[in-house]
Chain A
Amino acid sequence: MSGSVRHFKLVLLGDTAVGKSCLVVRFVRDEFFEFQEPTIGAAFLTQSVQLDSSVVKFEIWDTAGQERYRSLAPMYYRGASAAIVVFDLSNKESYNGAKSWVKELMRRGDPNVVIALAGNKADLPASQRKVETEEAQAYAEENNILYLETSAKNASNVKNLFVEIAKKLPQQAMQQEREQGFTISPPKQEKKSCC
C-alpha cells in the first residue's frame, strides 16, 4: 500500500458559480458553504486518494470561472494529468460552457489528459434540472470522457469523482524512478597492501 504514492496535477475548469471550489472544499475538507466566495485567481490544495494498491496524490488547481479570467486558464491546465470540467445541472448555459472547456482541453491540453465531466448541484429538485443525464452521458461517451453527477452540498459522488479519475490515471506516474528498485552493486574493493 505504501511506497507507491503517485502525484498528479489536476485542474478544475468550468463557468462561474457552477461549484468548482465547493467540490474541492468538499473533497479536501469535507465542508460546504452555501455562499462560497468566487475564486479570483487559482487556489491550490493537495489531497490523496487511496486505491486498492496505491495512493494517488492530487495537486489540485481550482481556477477562476468568471469569463474575464478565461484566457488565464491555460496556465493551469497546461501540464495537468487530469481535469474536472464542472457545470451546473440547473444551468444549460454552463453545460454549453463545459462542452467548450472540454473542446479546448482536447485541443490545447496534454494529449493524455484524463477528463471528467461533472454535473454538479445534483441535490436540486428535478424540476430545476435543465440538463438530462442521458444527454450529458451520451456527450461524455462520444468524447470518451468520464461523466458523474455530483453534489458538493450533500457530498454525493464527490469522492467517487476523484477516485474514478485516479483509477484512469497511468499506473506508472511521471515520477517513475520512485517506483523502481535500486541495484545493489558490490562495493569496490580497494586493494590494500599488507604491510
Chain B
Amino acid sequence: MTHPPPLLHTTTPDVETSNGTTSNPEAVAKIREAWISNQLRRRQAEFTEYKNANVFTGTWNVNAKKMDPSASLASWLFPPSTPSPPDIIAVGFQEIVDLNAVNVAVDSKASQRSVFWQETILRTLTSNNRHYTLVQEVHLVGMLLCVYVQNKHLPHVSNVSCNTVGVGVMGVMGNKGGVSTLRKHDQLNIERGNSSVFQGFSESVLLFPPTYKYQPNTDLYECRPDKKLRAPAWCDRVLWHEADEGTVECQVYERAELNISDHKPVMATFTCRIKNINTEKRSDVYSEVMRSLDKRENQSLPKVDLDKVTIDFKSLYYDNKSTASITLTNTGTSNAHWRLVPKLEDEALCKEWVQVSPTFGLLVKGESCEINFSVQIDNETAMKLSNNEENLDDILILRLENGRDHYLTVSGKYARSCFGMNVRDLVLISEPVRDVPLDPKGRIDFEASHPPASLSVPKELWRIVDAICDKGLHEKDLFLTPGFAAEVKQIRECLDTNSDFGLFHIHSMAEVLVSFLASLSEPIVPSTLFPTLEIDQGNIMPWSRRFLEELPPIHYNCFVYIISFFREILLFSNSNNLSPAKLARVCTSCLIRNDDATRGGKGDRSRNMSLIFLHFLTTNSI
C-alpha cells in the first residue's frame, strides 16, 4: 500500500496577495524549520559521538517449571567469559506456563509466573552485587520479556518502547513463540540461507551442543522409551538485527547448564555502538545553521545605494525654482521596490515647498534611477518663512519594500525678501531686508546692533514709487502693460539688498509695485474694514471717512501714500491714458486680499471697496 504524498498542514489559510500570488507565513515558517532540521541531520556527525554498550540477551524455555526459590540464575546471566557487567540485560522466557486452553485465554497464572521469574532474576542480580532496574516488562501468555538497565545509566533512559508479536490464534492469543516450531537442528540456518525467514537478521556461530530435548533435572537428552524419540536440536537461539551495518558485534554465544527444564537456557552478549548526542555541540551547530540562514536572509534583503542623502540648495530666492536630484542604484541581489512614505501622522510626503518626482519605482538588480527635487518659494511659503512659521528643512522617507528606510534631507536657506512681509515690520528696517536674520535668536542679535527704525512707509515702497515718479508718469498704459520677468526679478533683488536698480523698463517697475503690495502678508486694506452695507452716493462719504479712521497707522500711511501717488499719475492721464476707474481696479488687485474679497457674504464687498477707492481717486478727500 502506498501513502499519498504528505500535505504541509497550516492552521492559517493562504492569503492572496495583491500581485496575484498566494502567501502563507505559517507555511514559510514550517518550511524554514524543516530546512533547519535537514541541515542539522546532515551535520549530525559534528555533535554525535558513538559509545560502546554491552548488552546481554538470554532466552530460556522453562517448560512451565519453577525453580527452587533459593536457586540462582548466575551461571546464565553472568557467563564467565563476559568482560564487564553488561549495560543492558534483556531476558526472554518461553512457556512460563503450560500452553493449555485455559492459560492461553486467561492470564492470571501467567502473571504469577511472570512475577516469580522477575523476582528470581532480581535476586540473582542483587546477590551478585549487580545494580539494575527493570525498565520494561512484557508477557504474552507463555512468554515473558524483561529488560534491565544498569542503575548508573538510568538518567539517560527515556522513551522505552517495545514491540511484541503474537503469532498464535488471530494474532491475539499467544503460544510458544516462533522459535519452537522449527524442528530440525539446522532448519533455521537452512531457511535463513534461503532468505525465507528472518531476513536482515544475523546469528553467531553455534559452538554449543543442542539445547533440546533434555530430561528435566538432568543433563541427559531425552531418550526414555515412553517418550517420543527426538533428535537433539538447537531450538533456543539468539538472532539480532542492526539498523546500521557494523554496529553490533556478538562477543559470547553460549548455553548455561541449568536443568529444571527440557531446554537449556541460551545467552549471547553483544557490544553495540550507541549514538550519543552531545546537546551542547548540537546547540552550537543549530546556532550556526540558524546564523547562516539569517545571513542569507539578510543578504537577500533589497538594497539600494544613494549617491547622496542630503540636498542643500543653499540660498533660495523668492519665486525662484531650484532643482537637484539623487541617484538611486539597486546594489542588492533582489528587485527593489521603493517608495516615498509620509512621516507618522502626516499625509503628505513632504512640505509644500518641495516637489519630488518620481515618488515610487522598481529597480531591478544593478538598475539606477534619479529622484528629482525642486523647490520653489511661492508667496505663501515666503510669508511663513518671513514670520518664522516655516523653515527650509525637510526629511523624506524612502522605504524599500521588505527592507530598510533611508532618510533624504532637503534643505536651503531663504534669502529674505520684502515680498511676503508686512508693512509694520518693514517700517522698522532701514537696512536691506536681506540682512535681517530669520531665526529669532539671530534677529535679537541683529536688533541689538541695529536699533529699529520708524519709517512712515516701507523704504521699498518709497523706492518703487520714487522710481516711477522719476521717469514714468507719462508712460502710456502704465500699470496695464506687463513688465519683463527678468527685470522684475532684478528689481526685487535690488529692493532686498538696497542696491541701485540699474536699467529697467517702467512697466517692470509698475509690475513690481503691484506684486509687492499684493504679496504683503497683511494687505494694506484689512478685510475687516470692508463696508458691510451697499454703498451709494448717500453713504459713501461717511463710509470713506470711517474707513480711513479705522486703518491701522502704518497701513493708513501706505494707503494715503499710494492714493496720492495714483492721483498724481492721473494728472498725466492725457499721455498715460489712465482713468480713476482703471486705477481703482489696480487698487482692488493689490490693496485688498482677493481671497478675502471673494468671501463676500452679503453682496460683493470688494465692489464696495472699489467704490471707495474710486471715491478717493476722484475727490480731494485725502
Contacts and interface: CB of A to CB of B under 8 A. Distances in A.
Interface of A: 1-3, 5, 28-29, 40-48, 50, 55, 57, 64, 68-69, 71-72, 74-75, 78, 175, 177-178, 180, 182
Interface of B: 9, 11-12, 25-26, 29-30, 32-33, 36-37, 283, 286-287, 290-291, 293-295, 297-298, 301, 309, 343-344, 395, 397-398, 403-407, 409
Given A3-B33, A50-B283, A42 B298 contact: no
B287 A40 contact: no
B298 A41 contact: no
Given A41-B397, A44-B405, A75-B397, 16 more contacts: A2-B36, A5-B29, A28-B294, A29-B295, A41-B309, A41-B405, A42-B405, A44-B301, A45-B298, A46-B298, A47-B294, A48-B291, A48-B293, A48-B294, A57-B294, A175-B29
A48 B404 CA distance: 18
* Most B C-beta atoms less than 10 A away, residue of A41, A42, A48, A69: A41
A44 B405 CA distance: 8
Contact of A5 (B11, B33, B403): B33
Listed from nearest, the 4 A-B pairs whose CB atoms lie closest are: A41-B406, A42-B405, A48-B290, A44-B404
A78 B405 contact: no
Nearest to A182: B11
Contacts of A64: 407
A13 B255 CA distance: 76
Contacts of A55: 290
Contacts of A45: 298, 301
A177 B397 contact: no
B477 to A, nearest CB: 52
Nearest to B343: A72
5 contacts: A40-B309, A41-B405, A41-B406, A50-B290, A178-B11
Contacts of A57: 294
A164 to B, nearest CB: 16
A46 B295 CA distance: 8
A185 to B, nearest CB: 13
Contacts of B287: 50
B343 to A, nearest CB: 6
Contacts of B406: 40-41
A65 B524 CA distance: 47
Contacts of B36: 2
A46 B294 contact: yes
Contact of A68 (B26, B291, B395, B404): B395
Contacts of B404: 41-44
B33 A28 contact: no
Contacts of B12: 177
B395 A178 contact: no
B5 to A, nearest CB: 17
A2 B289 CA distance: 12
B344 A78 contact: yes
Contacts of B9: 182
Contacts of B407: 40-41, 64, 69, 72
Nearest to A76: B405
Contacts of A43: 404
* Most B C-beta atoms less than 10 A away, residue of A44, A68, A69, A182: A44
B298 A177 contact: no
B294 A75 contact: no
B467 to A, nearest CB: 44
A43 B12 CA distance: 30
Contacts of A41: 309, 397-398, 404-407
A104 to B, nearest CB: 14
* Most A C-beta atoms less than 10 A away, residue of B9, B32, B291, B409: B291
Nearest to B286: A50
A147 to B, nearest CB: 25
A183 B398 CA distance: 44
Nearest to B295: A29
B305 to A, nearest CB: 12
Contacts of A1: 286
A134 B343 CA distance: 39
Contacts of B294: 28, 46-48, 57
A44 B326 CA distance: 22
* Most A C-beta atoms less than 10 A away, residue of B12, B25, B32, B406: B406
Contacts of B398: 41
A157 to B, nearest CB: 17
B300 to A, nearest CB: 11
A48 B295 CA distance: 10
B286 to A, nearest CB: 6
A116 B502 CA distance: 67
A162 to B, nearest CB: 12
B344 A72 contact: yes
Contact of B395 (A28, A69, A180): A69
Given A1-B286, A2-B37, A48-B291, A178 B343 contact: no
Contacts of A46: 294, 297-298
Contact of A72 (B29, B297, B395): B395
Nearest to A47: B294
A178 B25 CA distance: 10
Contacts of B29: 5, 175, 178
Nearest to B393: A68
Contacts of A69: 395, 407
A64 B409 CA distance: 13
Nearest to B26: A178
